[in-house]
Amino acid sequence: MAMIEPKEAQRLILANANLLSRVQVDLIESLGLTLAEEIISNEDIPPFDNSAMDGYAVKSSDVASASKENPVKLRVQSGLAAGQAAQDGIESASAIRIMTGAPIPNGADAVIKQEDTDLGASEVLIFSSAKAGENIRRAGEDIATGEKVLGAGHPLRAAEIGILASLGRSKVKVFARPKVAILCTGDEIVPIDEPLKAGKIRNSNAYSLSAQVVAAGADLRGFSTVKDDLEATKAAISEGLSRADVLIITGGVSVGEYDFVKEAMESLGAQAIFWKVAQRPGMPLAFWLMGEKLVFGLPGNPVSTMVCFEEYVRPALLKMMGRESLFRPKVKAILEEDFKKRLNRHFFVRVIVKEEDGRYLARPTGPQGSGILKSMTLANGLATIPADVNLVKAGQEVIVHLTELPEDH
């Protein structure tokens, strides 16, 4: 199969990443998911005119002449706390003591904040006039009855969850989280809590990938491991697919004698979409369809695995969850040191990005080998350097994907 460009790989993946079903979930479970229904309010928020301040509800005409030097004295008729219903209308030359959030009594058209009074209990001196409507939050000023509050496709963050709660929506329709299984291949990998024998390494990919899957908001269905053996790999792939919409395989997609994943996928009848992307890290990235299900073959090197997840798998998962914005924010940053690379490969360079005087600066994290996972712990961005460039000089601009920030929307 021909090697393809990163953009083409991304396009092919997204073209095959389809929306999952709509499900109804408890409001608090919807964080990070995408709304799958239109929300029209059938009530006003706030539901009634209420005070924006602790103070005194008045008729503005009664206090028109009030000032510090010439205060107006009003009789304090009664008091209203938040949560109470307004009992009686306001009489003339009177004030009603009122707390923030309490309903505005009939006839009152302003609230004098208590700092502009002497805080009197039976009579109060008012030191300031007020315009009609001052310090009053109107019914429906946030959301009016009949208003479209959120559309399908809107990402559910804390604010959206708050607004749905204010509308009394304890359940909400969202696009389901894709179920994701992880399969790690390799005779050398052992569970992380077992003693290491000669030639073995711990299965770190299972953990970094699991964390990435959870952070993307997908439904992690655990990980399994398999030896470098064709039949065992076939069985493990089938088993992984039986419990997931998306299977992520690590290792075994290269050209080594023990790389069985491609052969296993072929003999299971998968449709190969591509293998090999002109990039570093992650050149042997592979992608298949198995019916409706997506299968990613990520190269086993720990950095390759993580970068391929970030650049290719994550956008696909977000798309399946109904998101419209699939990519991290991209910024132009000035590279702080020379970076040399080979031609004909796009590079994803782990960089530390910072903002200084309104511009971004990016510094490579150090050695960029695809086994150097420390480079990922230091980085907050991936600088993309095109295939046809072999040297970026310090001071030149590069495009950086800000991998710590949510995709913009």
Residues binding ligand AMP (CB under 6 A): 184, 186, 188-189, 201, 203-206, 250-252, 254, 256, 299-302
* Contacted entry of ligand AMP, Mg ion, none for residue 189, CB cut-off 5 to 8 Å set by kind: ligand AMP
Tell me the window of 58-66, 116-124, 134-142, 293-301 that interacts with Mg ion (CB under 5 A): 293-301
Q: What mask of x and - would describe binding to Mg ion in positions 168 to 197, judged by CB under 5 A?
A: ------------------x-----------
Does residue number 282 form part of the binding site for Mg ion (CB under 5 A)?
no
* Contacted entry of Mg ion, ligand AMP, none for residue 301, CB cut-off 5 to 8 Å set by kind: ligand AMP
330-335 vs 359-364, strand pairing mode: parallel
Q: How far is the CB of 228 from ligand AMP (least distance, A)?
A: 8
* Contacted entry of Mg ion, ligand AMP, none for residue 233, CB cut-off 5 to 8 Å set by kind: none
Q: How far is the CB of 256 from Mg ion (least distance, A)?
A: 7
* Contacted entry of Mg ion, ligand AMP, none for residue 34, CB cut-off 5 to 8 Å set by kind: none
Among positions 251, 297, 299, 381, the unique one binding Mg ion when judged by CB under 5 A: 251
Does residue number 155 form part of the binding site for Mg ion (CB under 5 A)?
no
* Contacted entry of ligand AMP, Mg ion, none for residue 203, CB cut-off 5 to 8 Å set by kind: ligand AMP
Does residue number 284 form part of the binding site for Mg ion (CB under 5 A)?
no
| Of residues 299 and 322, the one with the C-beta less far from Mg ion | 299
| Of residues 155 and 302, the one with the C-beta less far from ligand AMP | 302
Distance CA 118, CA 72 (A): 11
* Contacted entry of ligand AMP, Mg ion, none for residue 250, CB cut-off 5 to 8 Å set by kind: ligand AMP
Residues in contact with Mg ion by CB under 5 A are 186, 251-252, 300
